[in-house]
Structure 1
Amino acid sequence: MVNLIHKTKDQVLNALNSNAEQDCILAAIDVGTNSIHMVVVKIQPSFPAFTIIDREKDTVRLGDRDPKTGRLTPEAMERAINALKRCQEIAKSLGAQDLIAVATSAVREAPNGQTFLHQVERETGLTIDLISGTEEARRIYLGVLSGMEFQEQPHVIVDIGGGSTELILGDGHEPRTLSSTKVGAVRLTAEFVKTDPISNSEFHYLQAYIRGMLERSVEELRSHLKPGETPRMVGTSGTIETLAAIHAREKLGMVPDPLNGYQFSLKDLREIVNRLRKLDYSERSDIPGMSDRRSEIIVAGAVILQEAMSLLGLESITICERALREGVVVDWMLTHGMIEDRLRYQGSVRQRSVIKTAQKYHVNLEHSERVAKFALSLFDQTGGVLHEWGDDARELLWAAAILHNCGHFISHSSHHKHSYYLIRNGELLGYTEVEVETIANLARYHRKSSPKKKHECYRSISSKKHRRMVDQLHPLLRLAVALDRRQIGAIESIRCEYQAESQRLHLHLQAANPRDDCALELWSLDLKKGNFEAEFDVKLELMLEGVGSQE
């Protein structure tokens, strides 16, 4: 997150808490495959709720990648950066205290996606969070829930973007399924549509390809429906809204404003698709409300929706104008403790996702929780003395501590490297890509060598801030692992005492058993303390207490 008015998370919360009636203005940007969208909202913490005060959109087509290399083109990156600069100016003019930006499939898949993010940060100062397809689906779900009542009934949400299509099943509580499939209006148009109007052979191949790609996600979704349940279908995104507007003009003679809640049937959609496929680009552009850029990709997008509805066996769809951008806002509110009742389960999505991953890989949770307790105790006691990290870093350290040993699931040998791989590819929910990369690297360096620039995993951390976080937090995790060397809870608690004049940190260890000299823990600590001493330029001295005090 980049602050237009630079504030830490704690400062934002303190400002809000100091005046319960004080509103907070937040801007959220979605860097998509087709367009860059921004929503600016006024958050009312006392409700909690938010009101949309402005929307901006710029079709930059990041998804128009080099067909041979798959790289983002310099022209597309320049368009995107210019659009982001305009968004920043608008957000600042509206008094936004914070600006959050996320990027999805185009940046996620491009070989030079990270290079693009670095360029954005260098030219604008804006840090863009890269999110996985599953995390994108989760935030879309949050966005839809912020604008539509589910009344505890099952809903299927479909979001058709430029590079991917998300399918979500939920009933207002925890989502039952979250999926992201690599079928998007820009992607498919570039790959499969070479004729204008589209030829019969291309059209039928496009249909078959989409159906094949969506089948697995649809099957998984249907398997989570209870007997007798027929879900309502909700559609989001520009493609679906454009189709709804076409339908409304034909049936009503006008387009409702807002479009939220508007419905049309699969039968009517099929008729629209059959007409669109017979029109060339200029004829599609002449359709009222159809932008030039949308007319290029509308056929592929319409077929994606048609096939999704057909596979799901759902005969109508309802429009929701809230999606990823609004979900980013809701997620920000959850992260900052502003939502305590509705969607309360989402507040702990990170923790539950970490624990679920730990269970999946048969992690010894008792040991991991002790390691996490020690790591956080060291973090808290050295905060403001040896480091200046806040709650966000603390949470990533906790996750790494819980998952540091998950690599044993593959092999004991080099398990720290296996831990990195499993965490990196485990689709932890609630985290951005750079946060997942940070957790994975912290786990990777809980033993053996320290972070080095030659290590690919360390170089993969896109943010200098997060690389520095790994540098400073991995020594804490190493000490925490050493403190439970035998995995029996031999050390009850720790207390840090820092002496600035001599640059020494005394680590007082309280033994759980007065007859246990904790020799193996002390030996392991002595072995592991070198990284800590080098990183913080202190001398670590160990003091065992509570031993020999009883017969």
Structure 2
Amino acid sequence: MSYELIAGVDLGSNSFRLQIGRVVGNRIHPLDTLKDTVRLGSGLTREKLLDHASQQRAIEALRRFGERLRGFPPETVRAVTTDAMRVARNAHIVLPQAEAALGFPIEIIGGREEARLIFIGAANALPAASHRRLVVDIGGGSTEFIIGEGAEPLLMESLFMGCISFRQRFFPEGKVDKKRFYAAEVSAAREIEGIAADYQRVGWAEAVGSSGSAQELADILEINELNPDAATGITRVGLAKLRQLLIRAGSAEALDLKGMRSERLPILPGAVAIMSAVFSELAIETMTHSDGALPLGVLYDLVGRFEHHDTRDETVVHFRRRYQVDQSQVTRVERTAVALLGQLIKLDSPEHENDVHFLRWAVSLHEIGVSVAHSEFHKHGAYLLSHADMPGFSKRDQARLALFVLGQRGKLQKLAAMPAGDPNWRLVFCLRLAVLLHRARDDHQLPDVSVKESPVGFQLDIPAAWLEANPITAAALSEETLIWRRIGSKLRIKPVAGETGVP
């Protein structure tokens, strides 16, 4: 399936951005960009709660974006949110309101997933090159560091420091002096110190800044001729001069320089302090700038899903190999689980495409917990999926996978947070039944079974003769009916005539 117009939305800690692009071959031509300085991160209280004012700013911006996106098919829009929503303790309350305002789902992504998408966006906006690039993106609450070749990231990290959080910690009320600046630089340097050795070992030939902060710094240094020899971009010498000018002025607002945007003045000192530490710790002399960042990376990743180059598939394969999953068992369980689901929904329906993907991924990963311990491996697997860095998957995606892996066996009360009637119960049922039927881990042909779904639960029709010949499985199915009954649902096992095998 392909589309001409696609859209990416980035709900950053400082700014919200909407980028619309036209897909031409394997390239994306940007058509329209909307930006709103929401400063969501500034609304985080000491208790890590987003205050009412920041929520309102976010909702108003998203309503404007939603108006621009009216008429876009759901599969052509991907919206992601980063640090502020990652750390907000009331994100579960704010997110549904934000989604209603935008009109599309919003994914909370992890720091390394953010880094991956940033690199894809930056690399695709730069001229093609064979050398390695280091991309640095200073956001409102986090800073991403990525080394990659072409459009492929090799090393990714996200550090908990940003121009908004640094303003709150070191430059309250916008006041700047030598002591505050030194404290901010030391704090940033300590963060970077933990990754510097690995990054210098991998190495890079070109340093690139991809954020709005990097763009503003480059503009100020160039327009005011602070760089040596009329150099473009950001230079170590130019940064040092800007730092001194800021300290002398006492605040960004009092600084008399061209190219400064009023909406970014409050966060300029934090950006300068972090970038100075980046240059110092990673021994950078000059840095270029890329117009592409997270929104463009989201668009290219979306196109990859259309073209069956889904990063999530690659991640699942990597995890399967990393945790030495039994591929033969995966093949057996997947064949049966998908066949069962195909009796409950239309597998080729666009409406259910995502469910089919998630069932296949859950089957592929349902035994990764065995690598930790066989006892309660489903719990270990769910923990790994909840907390691992999984390129391509949002936090919500990972939680959904973890839910399926946790629910593959044992009591169902542990899934009590999932409401009755949730479509995920259908996938849990298919996965549990497939795992149960293949407990022997052999290639013996299964009976020809049929399943039905009703408002009160499920029904399994299975040959009576096969049940008599397989008493262990029959007992397990009987126990399964009790497990479903304990959560107020119903699973009926109906013995029927016949014993033909499933092809």
Q: Does 1:132 align with 2:94?
A: no
Partner of 1:40: 20
TM-aligned CA distance change 1:423 to 1:541, over 3 Å: farther
Task: Please tell me whether the aligned partners of residues 412 and 484 of structure 2 are also in contact (alpha carbons under 8 angstroms).
Answer: no
TM-aligned CA distance change 1:175 to 1:541, over 3 Å: farther
Partner of 1:441: 403
Instruction: State the one-letter code of the partner of 2:283.
Output: G
Q: Does 1:25 align with 2:5?
A: yes
SS of 1:471's equivalent in the other structure is: helix
Task: Please tell me whether the aligned partners of residues 423 and 439 of structure 1 are also in contact (alpha carbons under 8 angstroms).
Answer: yes
Partner of 2:66: 88
Per the TM alignment, residue 361 of structure 1 is displaced from its structure 2 partner at its CA by 3.8
Instruction: State the one-letter code of the partner of 1:301.
Output: A
Q: Tell me, in whole angstroms, the C-alpha distance in 2 between the residues paired with 1:154 and 1:301.
A: 25
Q: Tell me, in whole angstroms, the C-alpha distance in 2 between the residues paired with 1:308 and 1:493.
A: 63
Partner of 2:168: 190
SS of 2:28's equivalent in the other structure is: strand
TM-aligned CA distance change 1:196 to 1:351, over 3 Å: closer
Greater mean alpha carbon deviation, residues 488-497 or residues 242-251: 488-497
Q: Residues 440-479 of structure 1 correspond to what in structure 2 (within 5 A)? A: 440-450=402-412, 455=416, 458=417, 468-479=422-433
Q: 2:37 aligns with which of 59, 63, 71?
A: 59
1:124-181 Cα offsets, whole Å, 9 max, x none, are: 5432111111111111122123212342211111111001011111101532111111
Task: Please tell me whether the aligned partners of residues 150 and 171 of structure 1 are also in contact (alpha carbons under 8 angstroms).
Answer: no
Task: Please tell me whether the aligned partners of residues 475 and 531 of structure 1 are also in contact (alpha carbons under 8 angstroms).
Answer: no
1:407-447 Cα offsets, whole Å, 9 max, x none, are: 33444443322222111001211111111110000111111
TM-aligned CA distance change 1:508 to 1:498, over 3 Å: farther
| TM-score normalised by length of structure 1 | 0.79
Q: 1:161 aligns with which of 139, 147, 161?
A: 139
SS of 1:152's equivalent in the other structure is: coil
Q: Does 1:110 align with 2:84?
A: no
Per the TM alignment, residue 356 of structure 1 is displaced from its structure 2 partner at its CA by 2.7
Q: Tell me, in whole angstroms, the C-alpha distance in 2 between the residues paired with 1:522 and 1:151.
A: 61
Partner of 1:357: 319
Gaps of 5+ in 2: none
TM-aligned CA distance change 1:499 to 1:473, over 3 Å: closer
Per the TM alignment, residue 531 of structure 1 is displaced from its structure 2 partner at its CA by 7.0
1:436-489 Cα offsets, whole Å, 9 max, x none, are: 110000111111122567x4xx46xxxx89x92322210111011112202233
TM-aligned CA distance change 1:102 to 1:173, over 3 Å: closer
| TM-score normalised by length of structure 2 | 0.86
TM-aligned CA distance change 1:469 to 1:150, over 3 Å: farther
Indicate the percent of aligned positions where both proteins have the same amino acid: 25
CA RMSD of aligned residues (A): 3.5
Partner of 1:528: 480
Q: Does 1:420 align with 2:361?
A: no
Q: Residues 202-217 of structure 1 correspond to what in structure 2 (within 5 A)? A: 202-217=180-195
Per the TM alignment, residue 493 of structure 1 is displaced from its structure 2 partner at its CA by 8.5
Partner of 2:28: 50
Partner of 1:145: 123
Q: Tell me, in whole angstroms, the C-alpha distance in 1 between the residues paired with 2:440 and 2:463.
A: 19
Task: Please tell me whether the aligned partners of residues 140 and 324 of structure 1 are also in contact (alpha carbons under 8 angstroms).
Answer: yes
Instruction: State the one-letter code of the partner of 1:36.
Output: F
TM-aligned CA distance change 1:235 to 1:482, over 3 Å: same
Q: Tell me, in whole angstroms, the C-alpha distance in 1 between the residues paired with 2:126 and 2:447.
A: 48
Q: 1:294 aligns with which of 258, 264, 288?
A: 264
Task: Please tell me whether the aligned partners of residues 262 and 319 of structure 1 are also in contact (alpha carbons under 8 angstroms).
Answer: no
1:41-71 Cα offsets, whole Å, 9 max, x none, are: 2223xx1322211111111111013442111
Per the TM alignment, residue 527 of structure 1 is displaced from its structure 2 partner at its CA by 3.9
Per the TM alignment, residue 398 of structure 1 is displaced from its structure 2 partner at its CA by 1.6
Task: Please tell me whether the aligned partners of residues 34 and 62 of structure 1 are also in contact (alpha carbons under 8 angstroms).
Answer: yes
Per the TM alignment, residue 371 of structure 1 is displaced from its structure 2 partner at its CA by 2.0
Per the TM alignment, residue 364 of structure 1 is displaced from its structure 2 partner at its CA by 3.1
Per the TM alignment, residue 539 of structure 1 is displaced from its structure 2 partner at its CA by 5.3
Q: Does 1:77 align with 2:51?
A: no
SS of 2:140's equivalent in the other structure is: coil
Q: Residues 262-281 of structure 1 correspond to what in structure 2 (within 5 A)? A: 263-281=233-251
Instruction: State the one-letter code of the partner of 2:167.
Output: T
Q: Does 1:236 align with 2:236?
A: no
Gaps of 5+ in 1: 1-12, 17-22, 254-260, 341-346
Q: 1:392 aligns with which of 337, 340, 354?
A: 354
Q: Tell me, in whole angstroms, the C-alpha distance in 2 between the residues paired with 1:100 and 1:283.
A: 36
SS of 1:163's equivalent in the other structure is: coil
Instruction: State the one-letter code of the partner of 1:480.
Output: A
TM-aligned CA distance change 1:544 to 1:290, over 3 Å: farther
Q: Tell me, in whole angstroms, the C-alpha distance in 1 between the residues paired with 2:384 and 2:440.
A: 24
Greater mean alpha carbon deviation, residues 120-129 or residues 141-150: 120-129
Q: Does 1:251 align with 2:213?
A: no
Per the TM alignment, residue 204 of structure 1 is displaced from its structure 2 partner at its CA by 1.4
